């Protein structure tokens, strides 16, 4: 869509306008989707609303509406003391329960922040819909501090004629404070570093799975991928984070072209998207070179569109010069989804328990395992899949030549499904440490921790702690 407004339009906004037009958003009327049910009791909501309440006290006399949205653009909460702007926002349905995703409301601050996973400022006539020209919207995405998943956004909306120089900075600070508060109240896991857009070679001799005979679940997925790649199909390999999607894609290409050079392009941070694509795109279509583009469902919308155009311009070949990976095939951006011919799903490690021991032995190198340690590894559900197993084993291998239960991370012995607070995680870890010592028993653990046996049993049940061979 080419605007007739005489307004300077950055590239991100122009791309957003074009998407809004493709979605069929009316340019003269806001028609957001409404839902009467949404999750407003999550840790994200709890922490986000606490941050916004503190910010609202600071801005109580300013005509600024503070909002928290989920990842689909649904407004979860709204704080504002200015009745005039509240009544105005109600008229355009920028209120709890309504979705302001690009697909529903066209180009706007929170919709663009969610689409591109980047802080966004949209003011006056930069909005796609003329019904929003009276506002300035600044929004910043909130990412899960442990997994990097998109949780939602913090959005600040004011009148378009108001000063907006600090609005985006305030939104970014609120989003960062929300993630930090979630981290403080969460499990205490280290914050996941932001992706850096790395590109690196992947060789078959660096992939432990290539030298192992793994379960039928893995072999069936590998065979399916090999056949699809061999027929020249464009393949997307899907599965949970850490399950081995890139490894499987690389192995499938190695089967078809044993001497092929394989490049893996990891998803970039939003600000690095242009440089990321420019870095490796020239390798597409070169003889004996294949590219695995990882995590395409997590790409900013603008980067996904640029990627789709770059991949569509590559001449057809057998095998296709690239493979995509994604956690959720249903979340593939439109342009990329249209290129895909075959979807291959890699089952999670909890559905492949027979793979735990051979993978663990491979990750441990020359280290050995006790029978109890192997039983503990096989009994765990591995929510982080192969990536988590590799980290746990490598940490244990750094502690001992023979890996026993006491060398394994406490998380391996806990089946608790709820998110632990930092204090709960410390308490669980201490109980596990005492129960995994040689000759340990509940009575000895109670003495060491200064608790009664009844309390220890209650804590074991609360954290669902299971230690193979533990004496009663």
Residue 416 confidence (pLDDT): 63
Q: What's the pLDDT tens digit per position in 53-100?
A: 999 888 877 899 999 999 999 999 999 999 999 999 999 999 999 999
Question: Where do you find CATH 1.10.8.60 in the chain?
Answer: 352-463
Q: Taking residues 41-55, what's their average pLDDT?
A: 91
CATH class of 352-463: mainly alpha
| CATH architecture for residues 11-185 | 2-Layer Sandwich (3.30)
Q: What's the pLDDT tens digit per position in 324-338?
A: 999 988 889 888 999
In sequence order, the β-bridge partners of residue 322 are 291
- Write the CATH number of the domain with boundaries 199-347: 3.40.50.300
Only one residue has tokens 């009316």, namely: 26
Least confident stretch, 27-31, 136-140, 230-234, 448-452: 448-452
pLDDT band at 273 (very low <50, low <70, confident <90, very high): confident
Residue 187 confidence (pLDDT): 56
Residue 161 confidence (pLDDT): 79
Checking if the pLDDT of 368 tops 80, the result is yes
Residue 269 confidence (pLDDT): 79
Question: Where do you find CATH 3.40.50.300 in the chain?
Answer: 199-347
Q: Half-sphere exposure of residue 216, counting CA atoms within 13 Å on the CB side?
A: 0
Residue 467 confidence (pLDDT): 80
CB 56 within 8 A of CB 167: no
**Mean pLDDT for all residues in the chain:** 87
Q: What's the pLDDT tens digit per position in 182-230?
A: 887 765 555 555 555 666 555 544 555 656 889 999 999 999 999 999 9
Question: Where do you find CATH 3.30.450.40 in the chain?
Answer: 11-185
């Amino acid at each position: 869509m080419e605007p007739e407004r005489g307004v300077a339009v950055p590239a991100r906004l122009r791309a957003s306008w074009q998407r809004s037009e493709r979605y069929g958003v009316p340019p003269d009327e806001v028609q957001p989707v409404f839902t009467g049910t949404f999750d407003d009791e999550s840790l994200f909501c709890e922490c986000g609303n606490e941050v916004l309440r503190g910010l609202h006290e600071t801005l109580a006399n300013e005509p600024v509406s503070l909002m928290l949205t989920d990842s689909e653009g649904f407004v979860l909460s709204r704080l504002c003391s200015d009745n005039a702007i509240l009544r105005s926002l109600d008229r355009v349905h920028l209120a709890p329960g309504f979705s302001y995703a690009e697909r529903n409301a066209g180009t706007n601050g929170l919709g663009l922040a969610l689409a591109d996973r980047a802080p966004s400022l949209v003011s006056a006539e930069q909005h796609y819909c003329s019904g929003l020209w009276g506002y300035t919207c600044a929004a910043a995405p909130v990412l899960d501090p442990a997994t990097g998943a998109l949780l939602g956004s913090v959005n600040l909306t004011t009148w378009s004629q108001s000063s907006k120089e600090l609005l985006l900075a305030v939104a970014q600070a609120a989003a960062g404070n929300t993630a930090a508060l979630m981290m403080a109240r969460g499990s205490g896991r280290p914050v996941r570093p932001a992706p850096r857009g790395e590109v690196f070679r992947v060789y078959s001799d660096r992939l432990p799975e290539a030298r192992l005979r793994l379960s039928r679940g893995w072999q069936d997925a590998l065979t399916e991928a090999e056949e699809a790649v061999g027929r020249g199909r464009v393949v997307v390999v899907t599965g949970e984070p850490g399950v081995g999607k890139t490894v499987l894609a690389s192995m499938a290409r190695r089967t078809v072209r044993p001497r092929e050079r394989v490049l893996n392009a990891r998803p970039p941070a939003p600000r690095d998207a242009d440089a990321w694509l420019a870095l490796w795109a020239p390798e597409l279509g070169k003889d004996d070179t294949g590219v695995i583009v990882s995590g395409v469902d997590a790409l900013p919308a603008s980067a996904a569109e640029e990627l789709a155009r770059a991949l569509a311009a590559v001449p057809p070949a057998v095998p296709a010069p690239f493979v995509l990976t994604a956690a959720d095939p249903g979340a593939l951006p439109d342009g990329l989804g249209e290129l895909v011919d075959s979807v291959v799903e890699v089952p999670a490690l909890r559905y492949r328990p027979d793979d735990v021991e051979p993978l663990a032995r491979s990750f441990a190198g020359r280290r050995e395992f006790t029978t109890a340690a192997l039983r503990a590894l096989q009994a765990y559900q591995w929510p982080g899949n192969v990536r988590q197993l590799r980290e746990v084993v490598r940490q244990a291998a750094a502690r001992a030549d023979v890996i026993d239960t006491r060398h394994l991370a406490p998380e391996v012995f806990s089946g608790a499904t709820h998110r632990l607070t930092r204090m709960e995680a410390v308490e669980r870890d201490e109980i596990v440490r005492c129960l995994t010592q040689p000759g340990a028993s509940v009575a000895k653990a109670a003495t060491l921790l200064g608790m009664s046996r009844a309390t220890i049993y209650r804590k074991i049940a609360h954290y669902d702690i299971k230690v193979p061979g533990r004496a009663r």
